Structure 1
């Protein structure tokens, strides 16, 4: 038996994802028509030996219970949300809920960070781990970055033949390796003995020395997986890595959602072709015999209504209850639940929040510094919100929930917080 643990953090995390995370927990933000961590769940379901998925975080139970219930009903597998009493770090929650993870005596368990987007090769990862089951406590899924990009991730040095990791540094200050940690792991349950050593060492330090050295404000159960577990394991022949060529990215900034949306839509061609609207879409009732123009790949929720004269794609996701009017053009964008895009409006490189309304003949556009998809390392671009001069970076345009854009207005490279009613054009601004 196998299990999987999805780490989702809590409401104090994901600040770079605002304003999209102000009304929806980041792990539940829809990308390619599905909540982010539903893609994790579907990847886990491809493992026949996997019997249970545990979601660990400190979001309030009420924010997660509907999603978990829906997943339980949709998939024939046990899925549970385990709420931390406070932020316990990337490993503290796993140690706190160790009995739930070990229940049923799984031979191994997966760990997936909730902000990772990928074509998850979990079977390959598990097969590699089994080959070294006698010694391996943890096997890391790794990919290759540029020297500059690697500084923003956990870097590892490993033997390409054996996979043994000899050195691991989280976000190094200088170049270590172009191979980085993808935030996807398979672990032996013996790892909990190592976590116990870390926990009791920190407890002793917390008890004996906190007054002398100054308390760090963290609970003694707060354990960082990368710094306090992976780094000491490197060089002990207990930490392994496997490099994978599959697409991989992190969902750190709101702009990265557009990139992830593009690739998950592309993956649907092989995994869920029925979700793509490439062959047609639902239209206005009076025009049900006509089809709007589609440039693949496009996802349209069955409850959305799209006028036959609209043009969608490439790389567009239309959420539930959305209305797209006549003559609308949408490209490289995500339109969230119950948004209304009125007649002859243009939406490019943008995310339109739920319940937002864009008036007729308006233009909502971003001009991202979009990497060349043919370049091998374009997958990891997560540009900061501001450049070195403190100016807003060229980026996608983001509307929070329930924003109203009047007719004949232009919104370019701007971010609008929820519940705003705009009265003029905006360019390169954050509308608070």
Structure 2
């Protein structure tokens, strides 16, 4: 049973920079990463799966790819995070991971352009694995920078800025993919866009937080000696409940997100599902921008949980309304409703997770494990994709009713569980 105090003595706090870097600088890489994953998972990958595997098995194969990518994201962040804690370095991991990420995008783009010959789908999958490896290698240590550099009383604001930048990155992604489709550019153009928009913000962050490695190295030896074991980490009550709350919200998200493109095609009967999905995503993102920054600031004043209650309720309601809806115009309004909830949730998500870290000696490893709560639920896309294909056989749309209904159940379960999360828990300082 989890408990309130960590069972092992945590390390003394590592030296911080004189002041944390501006929130937009610290979170710039998340802007590029948000653009990256939206275009890749919601536009480029679904189109690539149809190109290589055809219409009849698109849901199953998209689920397989998502699950395989999630396996990399499940295993790698805690391992790389632990290495980062021992060395006291964050930024070299970001640089190396970015390079591998870009290589993977080039391989995927070459496959859809026909440069790989008969083995196109195998090369496409290889490129996706490189993307997953590189991105997770970079983001695991990078995730430690908010709890390492930002005081607890400012984390809601920083988390809100991060969520806002992610939303703006996603909005730019939706606009860019709409333009690619409207201009009838080749599919490989999406991969070039992703690479460009990922690289520039990464350089801004690398330059803006250059002192983070100097601060972290001062406590690297102590971090190696005092890191909690995994059993002790999950025995710590705040971390335990935050972890499983995030799992449930992520299960809801990944029961809907990968299949929006197909929902536009099969349920809403859109002639150009790529463009229609881009507009729907824009509605989600614009609404989330309005709620993200406000939610983070409110959480610093009122607490994290009231914002989460509102956010989860809106997302559950939107999932149910998608089941009942058959109009594209109404779907845009439902998408905006979901966006209001999603923006508020993401604005508080990182602050809540940072508050629940048990020890300043192992921020990168523990944030990597916490990140597992977000990526492990991507495995749900495999059974959900199979369920979708099975119930939609014969031209029906019952698969969407089942999948989106389960998403609403996950969101409601997350709301019930978040009540167990203690408020205002900050890492111990010995």
Specify which structure has the bigger relative contact order, considering alpha-carbon pairs within 8 angstroms and separated by 6 or more residues.
Answer: 2
Query: Which structure carries more strand by proportion?
Result: 1
Q: Normalized against structure 1, the TM-score is what?
A: 0.22
Q: Normalized against structure 2, the TM-score is what?
A: 0.22
